[in-house]
Amino acid sequence: QVHLVESGGGLVQAGGSLRLSCAASGRSFSTNAMAWFRQAPGKERGFVAVITWSIGSTYYADSVKGRFTISRDNAKDTVYLQMNSLKPEDTAVYYCASQPRGSANYDYWGQGTQVTVSS
C-alpha cells in the first residue's frame, strides 16, 4: 500500500508563507489524485486542495482560493502545498491523502504536519 510522509510545517507570522511537501512511496504509480486536508483544534477535518496525478487539474476550498497553490512532481511522487498570505485561522494539522485509481475514497493518509500562524 501507499505510504505518505508530510513535511514543511512550522510557526509563521500572519501574512507569511510556508510550503508543505508530501512524499509518496509504494503503489503511487496507480494514483488518481492527491489532496490536502486540515484539522484545527476542536474542529472537524476539512478539505483544502486536490490535484489529479496525470493531468494536474486542481480544485480549492473557498477559504484558501487565491492564497494556496497545490502542485505535484510526478517523477518524485511528491505533492506540494504553497501557502501564502497565511492567517491565524489557517492554524491546523495538515494531512496529505491519496486516492488510488479505481477507488472512490482517499485510502491513504499521512501522519500530519503542524502549521501555526501567529498574529
For residue 116, pLDDT over 80 is answered with yes
Q: Report which of 32, 6, 30 is spatially closest to residue 109, judged by C-alpha positions.
A: 6
Q: Report which of 107, 11, 95, 6 is spatially closest to residue 49, judged by C-alpha positions.
A: 95
pLDDT tens digits for range 35-59: 999 999 999 999 999 999 889 999 9
Sequence-distant (≥ 6) Cβ neighbours of residue 54 within 8 angstroms: none
Q: Which amino acid is at 97?
A: A
Average pLDDT over residues 49-77: 95
Average pLDDT over residues 65-79: 93
For residue 86, pLDDT over 60 is answered with yes
pLDDT of residue 34: 95
For residue 29, pLDDT over 70 is answered with no
CA distance 28 to 75: 11
pLDDT of residue 28: 57
pLDDT-based confidence at residue 74 (cuts at 50, 70, 90): confident
Tell me the CA distances in angstroms from 87 to 55, 81, 106, one per residue in order: 30, 15, 27
Phi, psi angles (nearest 5°) of residue 89: -70, -10
For residue 118, pLDDT over 90 is answered with yes
Tell me the CA distances in angstroms from 12 to 15, 30, 98, 116, one per residue in order: 8, 35, 27, 6
